[in-house]
Amino acid sequence: MILLNVDGVECRYGSVKILENVNLSVKPGDFVGILGPNGSGKTTLLKSISRSLKPHRGTILLNKTNIYDLKSVEVAKQMAVVPQNTSIGFSFTALDVVLMGRNPHMSRFQMENKKDMDVARRAMSITNTWSFAERPINELSGGERQRVIIARALAQEPKILLLDEPMTHLDMINQLEIMDLLKDLSIKESIMVLVVFHDLNLAARYCTSAILLSKGKIFSAGTLEVVLTSENIREVFQVNAMVKKNFVTNSLYVIPLSTPKSPTFRNCSIHLICGAGTGTPLMKILLDEGYSVTAGVLNVLDTDYETAQFLNIPVTTEAPFSPITEKTHRANLEMMSKARTIVLTSIPFGHGNLKNLEAVKEGLKMGIPTFIIEEIPVENRDFTQGKAKSKLDELKNEGARFVKDPNELLSLLRVSEEKLKTVKEDTSKIPGHLKLEENSARKEAPKEGGSNK
């Protein structure tokens, strides 16, 4: 059993330390993703494993033997490398380039034999490059050339395959075909595959494990569930992201949301009445704008509920697939009473969530400005035989403002904020003693039609 062990590796370029105390163990059939932002040391790690850059400290063992004590040809028989960029100065044909992968298995000045040709042809067939075997490599597209380089690596018949961002020049179909091929080789032929990825979702779909590098050190290592977490992504990549389970592929997938921003708190808290995913994009938009947000009533497991949990938004909740109870309705009203603005999204209405419309009506009675987003006509989402539409018409008559989309909502919120700011500034210009006199006069002024008591 061929084993690869990276033990306490430190790499430098001159006096600049790039990698520090990196440890890694790979066994046959492992498909390992090497992840991290630019400059984190991913390519340097591959270079040290492939003997292109000798570590300043630490050892790299291949079957318990230091890889730097082995002859190059011995290493090449067991390990193949697909670099980021490959420059070929002469116009070799694609087949000639792939046959170069047979060099470790041939003695000096030996010509290729039938086995070499069979191996090369198989490598080109499974990488879909045999159709242009006789074309000069320099006349191929970037994606075609990359597939030829991968075929050359496979022609070495390696037990360890190192790839540095191999999907860079490939379109979607070729990416999937190559990744499916590498996964197949790791399973059926027990090849150890180590791949540097920038695409976290591609890594999540194909890798059995991963290491996450940050500033030259391993930040996290292990299964995808351990490495690809929202917290790790935020810490290492400085990006807010949701990590979910894809029920079709059964793999994780990452949804980038935004880069963390310095909070610019606004003088406005917004209560969202949403559901069925209609509030998810708006939650992020409002938080990015600096508003504080609450939401309700949301059924547990609703998409908006999951988003609110991730974004740490306080929520009034109800049991999954259950109608809103009187107790939950009152809790929603309590949360709503603390907001300065209410926003109702284009949620579908059934008999179970009509109480949310009653809550909006109560909010209007409290004097809270209310906006209703009508991206989808209510007729297309009213499953209550017209009751929801009737209640929405009542809300409009009672002062709710209808808007067509979140962009219009944001514009109106900003206008309201500017007006409030202007009023506060005008009030602040009144001398303190005049404010006292004005307040006193208000208290003493008789009501219309009555006497001052």
Residue at 438 is within a domain = no
From 222, 257, 292, give the residue that closes a domain: 257
Q: Output the domain CATH number for residue 362.
A: 3.40.1190.20
CA angle 325, 329, 331 (to 5 degrees): 120
Residue 417 lies in a domain: no
Are residues 182 and 308 located together in one domain of the fold?
no
Alpha-carbon Rg for the chain, nearest whole angstrom, is 32
Same domain, 338 and 239: no
In this structure, the answer to whether residues 252 and 391 fall within a common structural domain is no
pLDDT of amino acid 175: 86
Instruction: Collect all residues with Cβ–Cβ distance below 8 Å to 225 and sequence separation of at least 6.
Output: 252
Q: Does some domain include residue 419?
A: no
230 and 165, same structural domain?
Answer: yes
The per-residue pLDDT string of the chain (453 residues; one tens digit each, 9 = 90 and over) reads 668 999 999 999 888 899 999 999 999 999 999 999 998 999 999 999 999 899 999 999 998 899 999 999 999 999 999 987 777 767 899 999 999 999 888 877 777 789 999 999 999 998 889 999 999 998 888 788 888 999 999 999 999 999 998 887 778 888 888 889 899 989 988 999 999 999 999 999 999 999 999 999 999 999 999 999 989 998 999 888 888 888 788 889 888 876 655 545 555 789 999 999 899 889 888 888 888 899 989 998 888 998 888 888 999 999 988 899 999 999 999 999 999 899 999 999 999 999 999 999 999 999 999 999 998 899 999 999 999 999 999 999 989 999 988 888 888 888 777 665 565 555 555 555 444 444 444 444 444 444 443
433 domain residue, yes or no: no
Look at the alpha carbons of 208, 34, 83, 63 in this order and tell me if their dihedral is positive or negative.
negative
Q: In this structure, are 253 and 278 located in the same domain?
A: no
Residue 132 and residue 140 in contact, taking contact as beta carbons nearer than 8 Å: yes
What CATH number is attached to the domain comprising 112?
Answer: 3.40.50.300
Q: What is the pLDDT of residue 446?
A: 45
- Contacts of 241 by beta carbon, 8 Å cutoff, 6+ apart: 230, 233, 234, 254, 255, 256, 257
Q: Within a domain: residue 429?
A: no
Note whether residue 427 is domain-resident.
no
Q: What is the pLDDT of residue 358?
A: 93
Structural domain count of the chain: 2
pLDDT value at residue 46: 93
Structural tokens at position 178: 């190559």
For residues 360 and 329, what is the distance between their CA atoms, to the nearest angstrom? Answer: 11
Per-residue pLDDT at 425: 54
Which residue range(s) make up the domain with 321?
269-410
Give 274: exposed, middle or buried? Use CB within 10 Å, 0-12, 13-18, 19+: buried
Question: Are both 56 and 202 inside the same structural domain?
Answer: yes
Same domain, residue pair 173 and 316: no
Boundary residue ending a domain (227, 257, 287): 257
pLDDT at 389: 92
Query: Do 170 and 73 share a structural domain?
Result: yes
Angle at CA of residue 200, ends 194 and 202, nearest 5°: 70
Q: Where are the alpha helices (DSSP H) in 60-161?
A: 72-78, 94-99, 114-126, 142-155
Check whether residue 95 and residue 222 sit in a common domain: yes
Taking the alpha carbons of 329, 330, 332, 337 in that order, is the dihedral positive or negative? positive
In a domain, 446, yes or no: no
Same domain, 232 and 273: no
Q: Is residue 437 part of a domain?
A: no
Whether residue 274 sits in one domain with residue 249: no
Whether 245 and 299 map to the same domain: the answer is no
Side chain identity at residue 302, one-letter code: D
What is residue 439's predicted lDDT score, i.e. its pLDDT? 46
Q: Point out the domain boundary residue: 204, 232, 257.
A: 257
